[in-house]
Structure 1
């Protein structure tokens, strides 16, 4: 990754690389500061192969440290900034973190107070006996001002201190030799923790080669023009923004416009102000931006492209995008942390009907592709989820993948790694879907989200697709609920459209019954949800990539409806009752 930055700085030194609400940075500036920070890291004891955790929002310092850590030959561990005390402690311990760089506060949360409880005396002792691998904590004051002495009375090391030390430090190894810049392509570059849709985060290992190849493949598939500028508020601690945004633009001397938090009106204002060509959204963001654009006028003429991916989108969303933003290069895709962001993508010049009906085709990768697999970064196959045998084309099955873009496993989790891969090295994605004769993928849902009602298999995505065709529904998320007679029944959490009050004067209660009847007219009886419950977008628990954490929605449904968590499978065989 350091080499990627250095090449771009050589070709485009004066071009702007990073744009924030307050500052801009050229390629030459990011390169020079990352070099100083790399020296500061080494002076602070960070060695090649050490793990450096970042608890940083979308600040420019995240970008600087990413390349500095790569330049020092260390491994970056981006941490979800919404993690709280116990979650943070888990990642620091499980990832064997040597240095932590953290904000002092963000969105009302005091990270230093959490550290006081995790590892008392962290200012002097690092992790102490509780986190023995953690040797140093470095703090970024979010208001830009100095920090007071730590709770123990010791001075707190700030990121400015680290960069200042790098300005005067002699860049030599303990034996007196100059260190090698960067790292080998196949060495570990980053550990991204899974979003935790199952409540059990795992550290996905990525090499420099995986990250840079995948970023190039994205720029190639989406046909980046010279100097492409991409705006996003998606978090840099997730592979979507990290790979599809930050690491793609250096190939064309482009820029990233990074926002610290998502706000639809602020997004429209930033497009008008900074004139980006491209935006990265998940469907929930797209819906909010479209609603805001109907109410607030902004000059959006700079946009020529949009990537909206990461979750289920109502079919009507694509025509609304075109109506609002014009005939832009609109794409969607499919990927996961284990496949280094998107592995499939629709083509910017492809037919419009592929957007609402598919999740894209395997990306072309140009010079980054592997000739042994047709010049791609990964290949996939569809198998029966029970037997593991390939299924005929067009048949729903579990998606398996392997190739240079696919992780080799989870950090210090051999059992989970062994479970994730079959004997031939194919990654079990846990996603169900079909692949057509042209290589386009159509997702049918998550394997773990499926359930059986009266012995019949139900795929929630099918129900969600029907619900979102109703004009009153903006989003739908279906989960299962234990039922004594049927084994399991469906519960649909529904976000009603912002024009709900104008639909026949019906309120949410009447609409819930209407939606059950609406499904009954379009779906087999066993697929019709038993309950429809209203929920606001802010109440939906999501991962960093915008996917709903359905196990939390299921728990909430049980609380709301007063249902026991004890499963019921009366009258069903063991195989019938099993979750698909």
Structure 2
């Protein structure tokens, strides 16, 4: 007989309560002790048990220590959704070093900026991704990196390890792991120390590097498993990148709390993802709305056994009621969820509840995530929200629309090496999210806009200034302004308004191509308009009013 929602939650509570703050490796090892031979990571190329991942992580930790990586040092990772990701993460955590997962769509300059800002000491990287040849990128920004690290350009970077080869003189991950000790153990790591530095916007101009602790990501992941009622051995599949907290916390770590498995996909392909659900009896799919559309269309024309599918969690952008209706009709999950969060709050802070109406799932981003034994004492929650004046930052009355501000044990304490942004975005224990919205009497959040220029494209946060700076390096461009405009599938996409330099001839397709060669795909504007300076809406002080440009776009 199938377990009820309450039964599932009770099993999790009994297994993990009362909550004891732990480091990532300590928490993982406690699961290894219970279920050493269960699979933890399943990909097309490998199925790795908890015990196998544990041993590999110990070898990685051992060799990092031998290479001089110490507690608090920053270790960057450019790793797509392959099986090695988990062992690297846990291995870095074992010695109290800090993981810096980087976007594998970065171009050379974006990579240089991220490595420099984070003072990365050690780098694990794939040789190439679909978007970027990282061997070539490293040759460009740090010549001689195979033997001399980052050189004068990146003086903190001491060593680079290639995950999959690609250069005869470089060290591969297999060689690196082979030199490590399988029984290595280190002194206990403080659960309140930083485990991750995660970039949340562009790496030119003003990058945002959120710091997260071991306890933050673990509490959040446990709360997600509890709220979404994971059963024992719960399996989660997703094509979301694990350098994001969505894939990492909501997928990889949350499944760990149920002794389950994560099935990350390197690229999003609706057919292969649904085939994985059938072949591996997957219980939950994580997606953003653009992926969800592809999944329901594929399911409608295909013939898949989706009887194991319990849940679909689609978030990071609004989704209309018709999409949720198709999810129910084509994928037939027993539960559907949407939610809201950001890197700075260790993934989701709000989720809809099982049984919420499709209107609620479409019109809100859920209510505060249940935390179970990991919650704030006596509240059952992991965070709390209020709205504040976007201009003054002062708290508003309950139910009033304003900038959402959040506090709780899963909220970052600040950005790495960025006092200016910390002063602007933190008010004591409260983080200003940059999103406009309301919180109703039942705790449900509704988003009404962005308080700042940053916008989300398919779940990826984009800094318009970074894109503007790139466009303005193209000969013939005098001015450039970028903003997010609404898009039903992506949430928002970029639009650019450019002013030519004098009589220069400017072609919008040339501008987009120029951006594609220098920026990750999600940052490239979908729309480019060539305008005159006189066409720009200006304030009396000479500032361009972007919100009027966005209104004109419609």
Q: TM-score, normalised by structure 2?
A: 0.80
Of the three residues 129, 146, 154, the one matched with 2:152 is 129
User: 1:283 deviation in Å?
Assistant: 0.7
Matched with 2:168 is 149
Task: Please give the residue correspondences for 1:165-564 in structure 2 after superposition, counting only pairs within 5 Å.
Answer: 165-167=179-181, 179-181=186-188, 183-196=189-202, 200-371=206-377, 374-422=379-427, 424-448=428-452, 477=492, 553=525, 557=527, 559-560=528-529, 562=531, 564=533
User: 1:375 deviation in Å?
Assistant: 3.5
Tell me, in whole angstroms, the C-alpha distance in 2 between the residues paired with 1:214 and 1:348. 18
For the pair shown, which has the larger CA radius of gyration, 1 or 2? Answer: 1
The root-mean-square deviation of aligned C-alpha atoms, in Å, is 3.2
User: 1:389 deviation in Å?
Assistant: 3.4
Distance 1:138 1:323, change over 3 A: same
User: 1:219 deviation in Å?
Assistant: 0.8
User: 1:37 deviation in Å?
Assistant: 1.4
Distance 1:104 1:575, change over 3 A: closer
Tell me, in whole angstroms, the C-alpha distance in 1 between the residues paired with 2:130 and 2:544. 47
User: 1:147 deviation in Å?
Assistant: 5.0
Tell me, in whole angstroms, the C-alpha distance in 1 between the residues paired with 2:253 and 2:246. 10
Task: Please give the residue correspondences for 1:78-97 in structure 2 after superposition, counting only pairs within 5 Å.
Answer: 78-97=101-120
User: 1:414 deviation in Å?
Assistant: 0.7
Do 1:450 and 1:579's aligned partners in 2 also have CA atoms closer than 8 Å? Answer: no
Specify every segment of 5 or more residues in structure 1 that has no aligned partner in the other structure, as ranges: 151-155, 172-177, 452-459, 469-473, 484-538
Tell me, in whole angstroms, the C-alpha distance in 2 between the residues paired with 1:96 and 1:363. 34
Distance 1:540 1:254, change over 3 A: farther
1:164 maps onto 2:178 in alignment: yes
Distance 1:352 1:381, change over 3 A: same
Tell me, in whole angstroms, the C-alpha distance in 2 between the residues paired with 1:298 and 1:2. 37
Helix, strand or coil at the partner of 1:231 = strand
Distance 1:405 1:125, change over 3 A: same
User: 1:121 deviation in Å?
Assistant: 1.1
Tell me, in whole angstroms, the C-alpha distance in 1 between the residues paired with 2:181 and 2:244. 30
Do 1:314 and 1:475's aligned partners in 2 also have CA atoms closer than 8 Å? Answer: no
Helix, strand or coil at the partner of 1:320 = helix
Do 1:58 and 1:235's aligned partners in 2 also have CA atoms closer than 8 Å? Answer: yes
Q: How many residues align?
A: 484
Do 2:59 and 2:180's aligned partners in 1 also have CA atoms closer than 8 Å? Answer: yes
Distance 1:65 1:475, change over 3 A: closer
Distance 1:360 1:272, change over 3 A: same
Tell me, in whole angstroms, the C-alpha distance in 2 between the residues paired with 1:188 and 1:364. 24
Do 1:482 and 1:563's aligned partners in 2 also have CA atoms closer than 8 Å? Answer: no
